[in-house]
């Protein structure tokens, strides 16, 4: 019987060693697997902000310098770049130049016609298009997507707007004096955010 007890003790010892060996092997495998997923590395990230620039009729947006509107008259009775009563479907052009910008843009042009109740902005076209867009509250809102993400806007990507206007009422007795006047235009050009 004593031999049977010794045999059982030896068996238990072998089982303990075997279990200890298995536990050690499992621990090594778990440690190896865990170490594969917990590697730490350090890196430096360089971020370069996109350039944003725009001009309206050749004047940098944000400057205090006024830009000149070139009036186009199809009326043979009016001297070039002048306005007169009874003109209809006349237009002036505005060029927005985003050359060098690296983001899509949206723009808003607000015309203050408070001191010019006889002038009415009616519609506009973009980039010599044949589709007329409506002008609401003397404000034009539109956008232009970045044509090429590798280059940004180039000189070929200028936005050409033709803004059509007419007199609100027929003036039967216009004042013959010619007084040069300003029409304030606020140009807001910003990054287009989808």
pLDDT beyond 50 at 54 = yes
- Kindly report, residue by residue over 102-156, the tens digit of the pLDDT: 889 999 999 888 877 777 888 999 988 888 999 999 999 999 998 877 788 888 8
Query: Does the pLDDT of residue 66 top 50, yes or no?
Result: yes
Query: Is the pLDDT assigned to residue 76 strictly greater than 60?
Result: no
Q: What is the pLDDT of residues 7-33, one digit of tens each?
A: 777 788 888 888 888 888 888 877 766
CA–CA separation, 52 and 97 (whole Å): 11
Q: How many CB atoms lie within 10 A of CB 72?
A: 13
Q: Please state the pTM of the whole predicted model.
A: 0.65
Highest mean pLDDT among 73-77, 79-83, 158-162: 158-162
Confidence of residue 85 (pLDDT cuts 50, 70, 90): low
In DSSP terms, which residues pair with 124 in a beta bridge? 133, 163
The closest alpha carbon to 165, from 108, 85, 106, 96, belongs to 85
What value does the mean pLDDT of the chain take?
A: 77
In this prediction, residue 36 carries a pLDDT of 57
């Amino acid at each position: 019987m004593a031999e049977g007890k010794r045999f059982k003790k030896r068996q238990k010892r072998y089982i303990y060693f075997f279990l200890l060996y298995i536990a050690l092997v499992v621990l090594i495998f778990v440690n190896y697997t865990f170490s594969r997923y917990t590697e730490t590395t350090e890196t430096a990230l360089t971020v370069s902000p996109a350039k944003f620039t725009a001009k309206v009729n050749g004047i940098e947006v944000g400057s205090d310098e006024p830009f000149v509107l070139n009036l186009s008259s199809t009326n043979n009775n009016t001297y070039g770049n002048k306005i007169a009563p009874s003109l209809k479907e006349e237009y002036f052009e505005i060029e927005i130049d985003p050359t060098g910008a690296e983001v899509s843009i949206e723009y808003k042009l607000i015309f203050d016609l408070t001191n010019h109740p006889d002038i009415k902005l009616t519609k506009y076209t973009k980039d010599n298009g044949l589709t007329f867009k409506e002008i609401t509250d003397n404000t034009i809102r539109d956008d232009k997507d970045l044509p090429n993400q590798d280059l940004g806007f180039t000189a070929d990507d200028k936005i050409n707007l033709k803004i059509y206007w007419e007199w609100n009422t027929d003036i039967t007795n216009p004042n013959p004096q010619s007084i040069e006047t300003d029409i304030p235009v606020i140009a807001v050009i910003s990054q287009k955010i989808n």
